[in-house]
Amino acid sequence: MADTNTLQYTAKDFKSDQEVRWCPGCGDHGILASLQKTLADMGVPKEKYVFVSGIGCSSRLPYYMNTYGFHGIHGRAAAIATGVKIANPDLMVWEMTGDGDALAIGGNHFIHAVRRNIDIKILLFNNEIYGLTKGQYSPTSQRGLVTKTSPFGTIEEPFKVGELTIGAHGRFFARTVDYNLQLSGEVYREAGIFKGTAVVEVIQNCVIFNDGVHEAITNKEFRDDRTIVLRHGQPMIFGKEHDRGLILDGIKLKVVKIGENGITEKDLLVHDAEEANPGIHYMLAGMQYPDYPFALGVIRAVKSQTYDDAMIEQHKQVQSASKIRSVDDLLMSGSTWEVE
């Protein structure tokens, strides 16, 4: 989009003059900071960025970005983002949404944006609760969670964002944690440069209505043993001592310890984010503690033609073969009559 040597931005250049109105300690603050820093380093002119959102705490983010933005209605961010991108393919369109906004009222728009592979970047903040409306259970809330709308515990099976994305023919899926600014920066940049629908699930903490929901994998005392950061071309190793890894045992993933039963690093799976077959990616995205480490990083990134490129290509083909070159040609085509 631009010569990166001629653009000298800092994170401050992407901060608007609006007061950030998230609760103190909310994970959204970390997401915003990491995103602003990432955009400053991407070498894209500020006027090329557009941030679109729906409704929810996450959807306030466009106000805090010194870029173009659009605050939409509940669940419709993907539809608006699609329209923006189709109208002006040169823009880099980011959709800010949450687990409720994207997967409940906006679920239909979400899966079809993913299926179509429109070149938009979807950051889905997942705190497994409705925060802005004060604590109702969401489509990602775990079974048994007691909330204002599930006083005896929710009995619904939650969505797993990665499985849903890949199941909808998603070409790009990544995951990060709100407080991990370095990993988030890596993931946001990869999403930004990817051509197609890039879905990033951000594991985010709501300190008011669902505090500590991700504690089992985010607590600094044991997060290294319970999470794995996947990087393309590197073996799947995790653990504080870097002594555990993943292998394929039949058709299932299996956690092994390096050095036991003759297992060496060479026996471990090597992450291939670009593999078109979604099988391994689907399993990686669905891993849950305590049976498996929770997967972070870019899990899937498969190149494919985007909807917007296909639309432009189709328009050119139709125009080149059409005999209609003007409105007069259109009006005089087909059956015509002279009225006296």
**Measured between alpha carbons, how far apart are the two ends of the chain, in Å?**
57
For residue 7, the model assigns a pLDDT of 80
Quickly list DSSP for 208-240: TTSTTTTHHHH-TTTHHHHEEEE-TTSB-EEST
Torsion angles phi and psi, residue 39, rounded to 5: -65, -35
For residue 6, the model assigns a pLDDT of 65
Q: What is the pTM of this model?
A: 0.93
For residue 71, the model assigns a pLDDT of 96
For residue 2, the model assigns a pLDDT of 47
The domain spans of the chain are: 11-234+271-308, 236-269
AA identity, residue 52: V
Phi/psi region, residue 19 (left: phi>0; alpha: psi -120 to 50; beta: rest), is beta
For residue 332, the model assigns a pLDDT of 84
The total number of residues shown for the chain amounts to 340
Domain 11-234+271-308: give its CATH code. Answer: 3.40.50.970
Walking along the chain (340 residues) 10 residues at a time, the average pLDDT comes out as: 67 97 96 97 96 97 97 96 96 97 96 98 97 95 96 97 98 97 98 98 97 96 97 98 97 97 96 98 97 98 96 91 88 83
Separation of alpha carbons 11 and 33, rounded Å:
8
